[in-house]
Amino acid sequence: MQTVPSADGTRIAYERHGEGPPMVLLHGDSIGKEYWAPVVPHLSDDYELTISDRRGRGRSGDSEAYSLQREVEDARAVIESVDGEPVVFGHSFGGLQAIEAAREVSVRAVVAYEPAILVGEYREQADLAAQMQERLDAGDREGAMRLHVREVIHGGELDGAALDAWLADWPVWPEYVAFVENSVRMNRALENYELPETVDVGAPTLLLTGTEAPSHLRDGVRAAHESLVDSRLVEFDGLSHMGPSEDPARVVEAVRSFLPAPDDGTAVTE
């Protein structure tokens, strides 16, 4: 395990796997870099993977002050720790980090699976952070995190006994609750984020989504596709917001078809 200082001095932890040209993996609202465990075997033979923990997660440090920009600076610090221009692959919040960081630092290509971008009427009415904070203030940490899981992973369509059963089968659930404060502040930042009309990251971008994902995230990825100067959108039939961990082989196949062979030149854009 290694660390790199972010712009505010917070130490961001990362580890490396494999050999080849660099690829940085940025996780979303998970317990840490372990989210990428199903994906790593499909990429580590051809890429040197740098996999980091977000601030406040895993072995990374944290700070009292928080903002989306600090998380973007964290991603930038990890990107700049590799040799050469990496492909940056982010999931959910990590997808937004990847897009925003690529606006500030040179990368070879960006891959984002359902970047956490809220748009339209959904964004205008979004109050998940406030709902979670109300539960948290009442001492109901698990209840606050249930709200997050219900909305972000299931689009509000799973509740009650059905959600209980899903959580009972989700191995990270007990540990996940410990990050409820982090999730509240993240959701508050996302509710305040507004996608620019035009986004030029200076590199080709592959946007990925699944047909079973929450509609607001699917709307967000389409809006990103319209805003990005150079992007391709791929939809996976039957996959949810957790697509990279649900079917890593299929997701990686799409990533590989977008990128050139590891010893090749520029990423494919057509």
Which residue has 């010893």 as its token pair? 263
Rounded-to-5 percentages of helix, strand, coil across the chain? 45, 15, 40
pLDDT in tens, 217-232: 999 999 999 999 999 9
Question: Residue 158: CB partners within 8 Å, gap ≥ 6?
Answer: 150, 166
Is-above-0.75 flag for pTM? yes
pLDDT tens profile 26-66: 999 999 999 999 999 999 999 999 999 999 999 999 999 99
Mean pLDDT of the chain: 95
Q: Which domains does the chain have, with CATH numbers?
A: 2-119+195-258 (3.40.50.1820), 122-189 (no CATH)
Angle at the Cα of 183 from the Cα atoms of 177 and 188, rounded to 5 degrees? 150
Is the predicted pLDDT of residue 264 greater than 70, yes or no?
Answer: no
The predicted-structure confidence for 139-180, as pLDDT tens digits, reads as follows: 999 999 999 999 999 999 999 999 999 999 999 999 999 999
pLDDT at residue 267 is higher than 90: no
Q: What is the CA angle 36-260-17, rounded to 5?
A: 30
Angle at 151 between CA 147 and CA 154, to 5 degrees: 120
Strands (E), 62-132: 87-91, 109-113
Lookup: tokens for 123: 């964004």
The pLDDT, as a whole number, for residue 263 is 63
**pLDDT for position 262:** 67
More confident residue, 173 or 266: 173
Phi and psi at 228, nearest 5°, equal: -70, 140
Tell me the CB-side half-sphere exposure of residue 222, using CA atoms within 13 A.
12
